[in-house]
Amino acid sequence: MRTIHELTDAYRRGETTPSEATDAYLSRIAKLDDKVGAYLTVTADRAHAAARAADERYRRGRPLGPLDGAPITLKDVFCTRGVRTTCASKILESFVPPYDATVVDRLAKAGAVMLGKSNMDEFAMGSSTEHSALRVTRNPWDLTRVPGGSSGGPAAAVAAGLAAGGLGTDTGGSIRQPAAFCGVVGLKPTYGRVSRYGLVAFASSLDHPGPFGLDVTDTARLLGAIAGHDPMDATSIDAPVPDYTAGLEQGVRGLRLGVPDEYFTKGMDAEVEAAVRVAIDVLKGLGATLERVSLPATPHALATYYVIAPAEASSNLARYDGVKYGLRVPGRDLIDMESKTRAAGFGAEVKRRIMLGTYVLSAGYYDAYYGQAQKVRTLVRRDFDAAFARVDLIVAPTTPNVAFRHGEKADPIAMYLNDVFTIPADMSGVPGVSVPCGFTASGLPIGLQLIGRALDEATVLRAARAYERATDWHTRRPELA
């Protein structure tokens, strides 16, 4: 398995071509994806056409940029013109959008080759990809375990060598958590740094599109291609986009890293805590200064998230009524048709969150639940503001445990607790990355999380690269027969 930058360097040297690389990935998907289950749709014809166009550009010595000819996968939550976009739900199983999401369009203009659309938890609601209505995705490091979620498909695809890079979304940790579980790099940008236009919404104030890569350099290149203001998205930030690769090799000497007390909690996996603390010591050895910080609202962030996110989901998913597009189950009248359509089209977890959201928004409960949750969200954001007045980055575990077995967390509360270390950054809109920082004795990946100030992805990536350069965890690959 090669990184994107290794592949594109090989293209420039004439050692291989985008078409040859694309053929190799498609062949590997055909051979191995029955085991992994990363893909919902493979777009071989579209991939071949894009690869041939990239071949010609390299032949003429005029590639479009650092992603030209890079074979990637997209979480099946991004609209793709002429290619079905299912959100891993029965209600959208046959939906074919008439337009591309902004991020899809930008990747295409950068020359990236879309291999297909990857599996996910239905409508991005989950932490294991077990809530997909369409297929099971398995962790390439141990096929009896989950890849994380909700972006488990693209994370598993990158880890298994079924794509050189990927694009997912992070609402409560859905890029960083599967990145940690699958042993790859996953970045959640600042809210508004990457356009949400054409992203099928789960929770509109929390959804963050972002990249997966085999290393930090690839992740930085992917972010550079998709970041930037988009007039089609009212929440898009109109701010300059730096060259995220320019400062990657500057190291961490002189950076102040905050270690939050609340992210090392009772009950977390001892091997996870040990690996993360060793990783923090590595960063200290590279010249960073460590400082204890406190984020006191963290214990309340999880409960707050599970009020705000379901409330926004309840509103966003009201559009799936069987009238305009998607699944329609015939009924006696409009109300009967809508009820039967939603009963058949939505899975159990989606229904659970719609009911939670509808309840907390209902008359008599809005102020007690949703209104209070928004106030606590402000406190979470203020915690980060106070911490970043003292430190440049926050360093912590990505998850409290490693990948668990399929079916192990049938209790929804146990599943929700997986997001305890990732949710606060989503609620605050600040950027965060997960990088591999070790393995358990049984061979399962562990993730280190770095969180930065708003719009300071460059420093987050710089520190992640410094750690990566000093270790070899990111070079390890799962063995798949």
**What domains sit in the chain, N to C, each tagged with a CATH number?**
4-250 (3.90.1300.10)
DSSP code of 317? G
Q: Are 131 and 347 in contact (CB under 8 A)?
A: yes
Q: How many CA atoms lie within 13 A of 82 on its CB side?
A: 5
Q: What is the mean pLDDT of residues 242-250?
A: 97
Helix (H, G, I), strand (E, B) or coil at 332: coil
Q: What does the pLDDT read at residue 195? A: 98
Q: Count of CB atoms within 10 A of residue 30's CB?
A: 12
Per-residue confidence (pLDDT) for residue 1, from 0 to 100: 86
User: Residue 175: is its pLDDT beyond 90?
Assistant: yes
275 pLDDT above the threshold of 70: yes
Q: What is the pLDDT of residues 117-170, one digit of tens each?
A: 999 999 999 999 999 999 999 999 999 999 999 999 999 999 999 999 999 999
User: What distance in Å separates the CA atoms of residue 181 and residue 403, rounded to the nearest whole number?
Assistant: 5
In this prediction, residues 174-192 reach a mean pLDDT of 98
User: Of 89, 118, 174, 195, which is the active-site residue?
Assistant: 174
Name the one residue in this structure whose structure tokens are 């599109």: 209
Find all residues with CB under 8 Å of 2, minimum gap 6, and list them: 10, 164
Question: Which pLDDT value is given to residue 239?
Answer: 97
pLDDT in tens, 284-328: 999 999 999 999 999 999 999 999 999 999 999 999 999 989 999
Other Cβ atoms within 10 Å of 464 Cβ, number:
29
Q: Active-site residue among 118, 150, 195, 434? A: 150
- Which amino acid belongs to residue 434? S
Q: How far apart are CA 346 and CA 331, in angstroms?
A: 17
pLDDT 10s digits, 351-403: 999 999 999 999 989 999 999 999 999 999 999 999 999 999 999 999 999 99
What pLDDT is stored for residue 16 in this prediction?
98
The DSSP string of 373-435 is: HHHHHHHHHHHHHHHHTT-SEEEEES-SS-PPBTTTT-SHHHHHGGGTTTHHHHHHT--EEEE
CA distance 22 to 20: 5
Catalytic one of 75, 90, 117, 188: 75
pLDDT of residue 440: 98
Q: Which residue has the higher pLDDT, 281 or 418?
A: 281
450 backbone dihedrals φ, ψ, rounded to 5°: -120, 130
Please give the structure tokens belonging to residue 339: 């009820």
Look at residues 251, 248, 223 and name the one whose alpha carbon lies nearest to residue 66: 223
Write out pLDDT tens, residues 431-473.
999 999 999 999 999 999 999 999 999 999 999 999 999 999 9
- Gap between the Cα atoms of 45 and 183, Å rounded: 30
Any catalytic annotation for residue 132? no
Q: What is the structure's pLDDT at 289? A: 98
Structure tokens at 453: 């100030």
Active site residue 174: yes
Cα(3)–Cα(72) distance, rounded to whole angstroms?
Answer: 11
Output the six-digit token pair for 208.
């963050």
Distance of CA 33 to the CA centre of its chain: 20
Q: How confident is the model at residue 242 (pLDDT cuts 50, 70, 90)?
A: very high
Three-state DSSP class for 123? helix
| 151 catalytically annotated | no
Q: Tell me, what's the pLDDT at 390?
A: 97
* pLDDT surpasses 70 at 481: no
